[in-house]
Amino acid sequence: MIRWRPGRRADVAAVVALLADDMLGATRETADPETYLAAFDAMAAEGGNQLIVGEAIAGAATGLAAGGIVATYQITFISGLSLGAARRAQIEAVRVSAAVRGHRVGAALVANAEARARAAGCTLIQLTSNAAREDALRFYERQGFTASHVGFKRYLDRSD
């Protein structure tokens, strides 16, 4: 069983380890630990931007130690004018520890994000996923998400 709660500064190292524990994250989650802590502080100050962690509970069928962070996601609430002034929830950085995959933790994560989105008055929940993460794409479709848009990213030069 998993207990979902807002992330704390003390959780940042465990969350970054989850983010780095896949084919893409291993090459991009290499910043200095202080960089991640500063980012967490900025997120916490924004109010509508939350880090959520899934913590293993004693007696869970996963065999993991109680209290260990086994899943995470970031949820941001966005008010807007489009779609009839729909308030939306954006989920990002969704990760489930390899040790608990296949135990329905991912489905519980999506359900938790949806409950938080509804509580915040959202009528839409959205996410992006790297096209190379084929297993993740299939998972999101099984959870009822529709691949309805084509996404674009452009990295901005930080030297300005």
Domain covering 2-142 in this structure, CATH number: 3.40.630.30
pLDDT at 5 over 80: yes
Q: Which 8-state DSSP code applies to residue 103?
A: T
pLDDT of residue 61: 53
Q: Whole-model pTM above 0.75?
A: yes
Nearest-angstrom CA–CA distance, 50 and 138 = 25
pLDDT at 10 over 80: yes
Residue 115, judged by CB atoms within 10 A of its CB (0-12, 13-18, 19+), counts as: exposed
Nearest-angstrom CA–CA distance, 75 and 125 = 10
> Looking at residues 8-26, what average pLDDT do you find?
92
pLDDT digits (tens, 9 = 90+) for 118-144: 999 999 999 999 888 899 999 999 999
pLDDT at 147 over 60: yes
Question: Measuring CA to CA, which residue among 19, 45, 38, 44 is closest to residue 30?
Answer: 19
pLDDT digits (tens, 9 = 90+) for 28-83: 898 999 999 999 999 999 989 999 999 998 654 555 667 799 999 999 999 999 99
Backbone angles phi, psi at 84, to 5 degrees: 70, 35
Question: Measuring CA to CA, which residue among 93, 79, 100, 77 is closest to residue 16?
Answer: 93
Q: How far is CA 74 from CA 4, 43, 44, 112, 127, in A?
A: 12, 10, 11, 12, 10
**pLDDT confidence bin for 158, thresholds 50/70/90:** confident
Which residues lie below 8 Å from residue 80, measured CB to CB, with a gap of 6+? 86, 87, 88
> Looking at residues 82-99, what average pLDDT do you find?
94
